[in-house]
Structure 1
Amino acid sequence: MNHAVNATVHSACGSEPGLISVDQALQMILDHTDHLGTEILPLSQALNRFVAEDVYSEIQLPMFSQSAVDGYAICMDTDMPSRSTFELIGEIRAGQVANFELQPRQAVRIFTGAKIPKQTTTVARQEIVQFDGSSITLTEALRLDADVRKAGEEITIGQCLASQGQQLSIGTIAALSMAGVREVSVYRYPKIAVVITGDEVAETVEDLNSGKIFDANAPLIQAWFQSRNQQVDILHVADTEQAVCDLFTNLRDQYDLILTTGGVSVGDYDFVRPVALKLGFEQIFWKVKQKPGKPMFFAKSERSEQGTCYLLGLPGNPGAVYVGMQIYVATLMDALQGQKLLPQWFNGVISHDLKADSRERLLRMVASFETGILKLSSLPKQQSHMLSNLMQANCLVRIPAHQNIQSGQVLQGLFI
Structure 2
Amino acid sequence: MSKSFEDARTLILAQVRPLAVERVDLLDAVGRAIAEPLDAGLDMPRFDNSAMDGYAVRAEDCQPGTVLPVIGYIPAGGRAEPALRPGCAVKIMTGAPLPPGADAVVPFEETDSGDAAVTIHGKVKAQDHIRFRGEDITAGQRVMEAGTTLRPAEISLLASFGCARVAVYGRPKVAILSTGDELVELGQPLTDETIINSNSWSLAAAVKEAGAEPVMLGIARDNLESLREKLTAGLTCDALITSAGVSAGDRDLVREVLEELGVQQLFWKIDIKPGRPTAFGMKGAVPVFSLPGNPVSSMITFEEFARPALLKMMGHRQVLKPLIKATLKQPVKKKPGRTHFMRVTVFAENGELVVASSGDQNTGILRTMLRANAIAILSAERERYEAGEEIQIHLLDQVTDLAN
* Fold in common (TM above 0.5): yes
Check the 8 A contact 1:47/1:229 in 2, yes or no.
no
Residue matched to 2:22: 39
Q: Shift in Å at residue 388 of structure 1?
A: 0.6
Give 3-state SS (helix, strand or coil) of 2:230's partner: helix
Instruction: Specify whether residues 247 and 120 from structure 1 end up closer, same or farther in structure 2 by C-alpha distance, changes over 3 A only.
Output: same
Residue matched to 1:165: 147
Q: Shift in Å at residue 397 of structure 1?
A: 1.3
Counterpart Cα distance in 1 of 2:149 and 2:279: 28
Structure 2 residue corresponding to 1:322, chosen from 276, 299, 318: 299
After superposition, the C-alpha distances for 1:181-239 in whole angstroms (9 at most, x for unaligned) are 33333332222111122232344677333322233322322222332333311121231
Residue matched to 1:297: 279
Residue matched to 2:240: 258
Structure 2 residue corresponding to 1:400, chosen from 374, 379, 404: 379
Residue matched to 2:399: none
Structure 1: unaligned runs, 5 residues or longer? 1-17, 303-307
Residue matched to 1:354: 332
Give 3-state SS (helix, strand or coil) of 2:136's partner: coil
| Code of the aligned partner of 2:294 | N
- The answer to whether the aligner puts 1:281 opposite 2:281 as a matched pair is no
Check the 8 A contact 2:177/2:220 in 1, yes or no.
no
Give 3-state SS (helix, strand or coil) of 1:78's partner: helix
Residue matched to 1:336: 313
Q: Shift in Å at residue 280 of structure 1?
A: 0.9
Identity of aligned residues (%): 28
Counterpart Cα distance in 2 of 1:223 and 1:246: 24
Q: Which moved more, 1:268-277 or 1:366-375?
A: 366-375
After superposition, the C-alpha distances for 1:70-106 in whole angstroms (9 at most, x for unaligned) are 11122x3615111222222222211122331121122
Residue matched to 1:70: 53
Instruction: Specify whether residues 71 and 259 from structure 1 end up closer, same or farther in structure 2 by C-alpha distance, changes over 3 A only.
Output: same
Counterpart Cα distance in 2 of 1:340 and 1:274: 34
Counterpart Cα distance in 2 of 1:30 and 1:73: 57
| Code of the aligned partner of 1:287 | K
Check the 8 A contact 1:55/1:184 in 2, yes or no.
no
After superposition, the C-alpha distances for 1:142-185 in whole angstroms (9 at most, x for unaligned) are 22222111111111101111112322223222233234333333
Structure 2 residue corresponding to 1:381, chosen from 360, 373, 389: 360
Counterpart Cα distance in 2 of 1:386 and 1:255: 32
Residue matched to 2:289: 312
Check the 8 A contact 2:207/2:307 in 1, yes or no.
no
Q: Shift in Å at residue 340 of structure 1?
A: 8.1
Structure 2: unaligned runs, 5 residues or longer? 397-404
Residue matched to 2:348: 369
Counterpart Cα distance in 2 of 1:299 and 1:204: 29
- The answer to whether the aligner puts 1:86 opposite 2:63 as a matched pair is no
- CA RMSD, 1 decimal: 2.2
Residue matched to 2:81: 99
TM-score (ref. length: structure 2): 0.90
| Code of the aligned partner of 1:215 | N
- The answer to whether the aligner puts 1:21 opposite 2:8 as a matched pair is no
Check the 8 A contact 2:34/2:147 in 1, yes or no.
yes
Q: Shift in Å at residue 343 of structure 1?
A: 5.1
Instruction: Specify whether residues 70 and 340 from structure 1 end up closer, same or farther in structure 2 by C-alpha distance, changes over 3 A only.
Output: closer
Instruction: Specify whether residues 318 and 231 from structure 1 end up closer, same or farther in structure 2 by C-alpha distance, changes over 3 A only.
Output: same
Give 3-state SS (helix, strand or coil) of 1:390's partner: helix
How many residue pairs match? The answer is 392
Counterpart Cα distance in 1 of 2:249 and 2:89: 85
Check the 8 A contact 1:77/1:104 in 2, yes or no.
no
- The answer to whether the aligner puts 1:156 opposite 2:138 as a matched pair is yes
Check the 8 A contact 1:98/1:116 in 2, yes or no.
yes
Check the 8 A contact 2:210/2:307 in 1, yes or no.
no
Instruction: Specify whether residues 261 and 235 from structure 1 end up closer, same or farther in structure 2 by C-alpha distance, changes over 3 A only.
Output: same
Residue matched to 2:44: 61
After superposition, the C-alpha distances for 1:253-279 in whole angstroms (9 at most, x for unaligned) are x31101111112122332221111001
Instruction: Specify whether residues 169 and 340 from structure 1 end up closer, same or farther in structure 2 by C-alpha distance, changes over 3 A only.
Output: closer
Q: Which moved more, 1:279-288 or 1:268-277?
A: 268-277
Counterpart Cα distance in 2 of 1:405 and 1:131: 66
| Code of the aligned partner of 1:145 | Q
Residue matched to 2:395: 415
Q: Shift in Å at residue 357 of structure 1?
A: 1.9
TM-score (ref. length: structure 1): 0.87
Instruction: Specify whether residues 21 and 188 from structure 1 end up closer, same or farther in structure 2 by C-alpha distance, changes over 3 A only.
Output: same
| Code of the aligned partner of 1:345 | L
Give 3-state SS (helix, strand or coil) of 1:210's partner: coil
Give 3-state SS (helix, strand or coil) of 2:288's partner: strand
Check the 8 A contact 2:61/2:86 in 1, yes or no.
no
| Code of the aligned partner of 1:52 | A
Counterpart Cα distance in 2 of 1:236 and 1:215: 8
Q: Which moved more, 1:125-134 or 1:380-389?
A: 125-134
| Code of the aligned partner of 2:55 | Y
Instruction: Specify whether residues 397 and 102 from structure 1 end up closer, same or farther in structure 2 by C-alpha distance, changes over 3 A only.
Output: same
Q: Shift in Å at residue 372 of structure 1?
A: 4.0
Counterpart Cα distance in 2 of 1:377 and 1:133: 63
Counterpart Cα distance in 1 of 2:318 and 2:132: 40
Counterpart Cα distance in 2 of 1:227 and 1:204: 21
Counterpart Cα distance in 1 of 2:186 and 2:319: 42
| Code of the aligned partner of 1:409 | E
Residue matched to 2:156: 174
| Code of the aligned partner of 1:107 | A
Q: Shift in Å at residue 117 of structure 1?
A: 1.7
